[in-house]
Amino acid sequence: MSKSWVNVAERLGSDLHLELGGTGSRRAALGRALRGAIQDGRLAPGTLLPPYRSLAADLGIARNTVAATYSELVAEGWLTARRGSGTRVAERTAPVARPRVPTKPSTGTAAPVHNLLQGQPDTSSFPRRAWMGSTRRALTAAPNSAFGPGDPQGRIELRTALADYLARVRGVRTGPECIVICAGFSDALRLLFCGGVLRGPLAVEAYGLAFHRALLAADGVRTVPLGLDEHGSRTTELADHRAVRSVLLTPAHQFPLGGPLDPARRHAAVEWARGRGGVVIEDDYDGEFRYDREPIGAVQALDPDHVLYVGSASKSLSTAVRLGWMVLPERLIDPVLAVKGRRERWTGVVDQLTFADLISSGAYDRHVRQMRQRYRDRRNRLAAALAEHAPHIEPAGIAAGLHAVLRLPPGTEASTVKAAAWQGIALDGLAAYRHPDAAPVFDGLVVGYAAPTDHAFAAALAALCQILPPAP
């Protein structure tokens, strides 16, 4: 027979009604009862729960059962446990739907309280004044022909500015004649594979964006994962896949685990492409943002004939600026342009001219330097918060980029992601990025520290630290 109520007035100030009936173990029944009491408001945020021994005695169950249930609810975000202050109902918001997941588009549901998703820069930092100034200058200088039928390769002004910028900042060896303007990295993938310029199977890193794999799979392109360790992708494994002619890498800052590709492995990938008659696709998604290391040049400089370099403005400016660029081997330029030929796939002329002026005037360099300092400060604040509140949680991949991977105790990733959703924190677990045919490396969270505005970042860090699992 279940016990339906317990008097915990000495600790709570009121009677607590708990229904422990139903099927399953006593631990499962207690968990259901406590969650229900929190959900319907009978246990308000901040309420102090009785100690293990008291609740176990009142309910007639084992003390270890109560302790295990409390620990489970702490991991899920329902409760908090702090030394010296007991176990309390967590301060929380209603669970929110995440604004996007790696493989599905947004459904337009409520925004999170704290946005710690990777891949999103601080939208409040978009250089509006500089962009408007560049737009005025670009429109004033543009010839009338710029607003007529155009070139699918992109405006010469932007390709010229990019050739100079990429050579100076990333060590890319190219001229404007080898650059094709596109709408971002995903558009580049579509042009290359969905248009038949390159054919699958495509070798990819064991961890990467599921959205990109889904985009390719929808067009019948199979992806083959390469092993991954602290030195980056194991590119020597390329020789084991006889049907593969292309490999996609993030060599400057492996996504999402972080860290540069080892020099020997960079050379191994290029040598494989030469010997196989294939290409390396270099995704330089956040190459401008490095903090604690020397700049690492593009792999493309090792062999422009066998490395295809892709970049975009999505991290440095905004995901809303649909501007990207491919630096192509000469033999691929005409096939790509043939696929891109329909005008609907062209990027807007005004944005191209504006971005060209932003680069040529030096405003883009100034903006990147400013944001590099701001994101470095965010990274440092994240590391300091972890050191103070969760020293057992190890951040990885923080020498560059706009996100960190937090290494969690084994077996805690799923419950921590669930706890984050309950607290209104939008972030991803590391498993969301693993190729389905690859072995897992460890439990972790992928935490983007760029998206929150400056005034909201402290609260986001506090909320994050609250849902992290305790030391094992």
Q: How far apart are CA 107 and CA 100, in angstroms?
A: 8
The answer to whether the peptide bond before residue 45 is cis (omega within 30 degrees of 0) is no
Across the range 271-283, mean pLDDT stands at: 96
Q: How far apart are CA 190 and CA 220, in angstroms?
A: 12
Burial of 82 (0-12, 13-18, 19+ CB in 10 A): exposed
Across the range 415-429, mean pLDDT stands at: 93
CATH says 5-89 is which class? mainly alpha
Q: Which two tokens stand for residue 53?
A: 């021994």
Q: Which residue has the higher pLDDT, 249 or 341?
A: 249
Domain with CATH 1.10.10.10 in the chain: 5-89
In DSSP notation, 40-99 reads: TTSS-TTPBPPPHHHHHHHHTS-HHHHHHHHHHHHHHTSEEEETTTEEEEPP-------S
- What is the tens place of the pLDDT at every residue in 342-397? 665 678 899 999 999 999 999 999 999 999 999 999 999 999 999 999 999 989 98
CATH says 130-361 is which class? alpha beta
Report the pLDDT value the prediction gives residue 324, as an integer from 0 to 100. Answer: 95
Q: How far apart are CA 168 and CA 162, in angstroms?
A: 10
114-124+366-467 — its CATH code? 3.90.1150.10
* pTM, full prediction: 0.76
Domain with CATH 3.90.1150.10 in the chain: 114-124+366-467
Confidence of residue 293 (pLDDT cuts 50, 70, 90): low
Nearest to 133 by CA among 352, 314, 321, 358: 358
